[in-house]
């Protein structure tokens, strides 16, 4: 039995969140989208701490998408923390950024990112990229069991 597809989004920008939600709705797939604003909140979510203690309401994600530039604990710091957690390290984590800075891409892969995607400027391109990513993670890839 397949569990619901859950996407944890680390995004501090309301504008980018709006575009992401709109793109998800245009993809036409059933996705539970949970958003946190930074790496500290993502850590609390994944560990089930504070307001995220109810796993029925805040389930372990199928995939994590993180912006690179976040306040406090940024995308790379969060990724480093995630990969250091024995139970969580296998979770797919995608970094997306408005920048294709080779140093950021290199650092993300060295820390164990699953993939690095540059945010397209055109909304249609964003929907297309998101659809490809979601189709892969929803229909093709096998997910490791994560039991907390």
* pLDDT tens per residue, range 12-56: 999 889 888 888 888 778 899 999 999 999 999 999 999 999 999
pLDDT at 9 over 70: yes
User: What was the pLDDT predicted at 57?
Assistant: 95
Higher pLDDT, 145 or 63: 63
Q: What is the pLDDT of residue 1?
A: 39
- Please report which confidence band the pLDDT of residue 2 belongs to, taking 50, 70 and 90 as the band edges: low
Residue pair 84/78 in contact by the 8 Å Cβ criterion: no
More confident residue, 80 or 119: 80
Q: DSSP assignment, residue 117?
A: E
Mean per-residue pLDDT, 126-138: 88
Q: What is the pLDDT of residues 64-114, one digit of tens each?
A: 999 999 999 999 999 999 999 999 999 999 999 988 999 999 999 999 999
Calpha distance 10→21 (Å, rounded): 13
52-57 long-range contacts, CB within 8 A, separation 24+: 55/148
Residue 106 confidence (pLDDT): 97
pLDDT for 36 equals 98
Of the candidates 100, 95, 29, the one whose C-alpha atom is nearest the C-alpha of residue 68 is: 95
Spatial CA neighbour of 113 closest among 65, 71, 42, 59:
65
Q: Where are the domains of the chain?
A: 6-138
pLDDT at 48: 95
**CATH level 2 (architecture), domain 6-138:** 3-Layer(aba) Sandwich (3.40)
């Amino acid at each position: 039995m397949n569990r619901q597809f859950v996407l944890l989004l680390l995004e501090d920008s309301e504008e980018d969140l709006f575009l992401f939600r709109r793109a998800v709705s245009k993809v036409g797939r059933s996705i539970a989208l949970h958003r946190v604003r930074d790496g500290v909140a993502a850590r609390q979510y994944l560990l089930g701490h504070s307001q995220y203690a109810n796993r029925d309401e805040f389930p372990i994600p199928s995939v994590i998408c993180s912006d690179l530039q976040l306040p406090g604990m940024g995308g790379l710091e969060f990724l480093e923390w995630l990969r250091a957690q024995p139970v969580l390290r296998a979770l797919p984590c995608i970094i997306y950024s408005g920048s294709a800075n080779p140093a950021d891409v290199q650092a993300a892969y060295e820390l164990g990112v699953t993939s690095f995607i540059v945010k397209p400027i055109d909304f249609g391109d964003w929907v297309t990229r998101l659809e490809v990513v979601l189709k892969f993670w929803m229909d093709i890839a096998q997910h490791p069991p994560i039991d907390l």
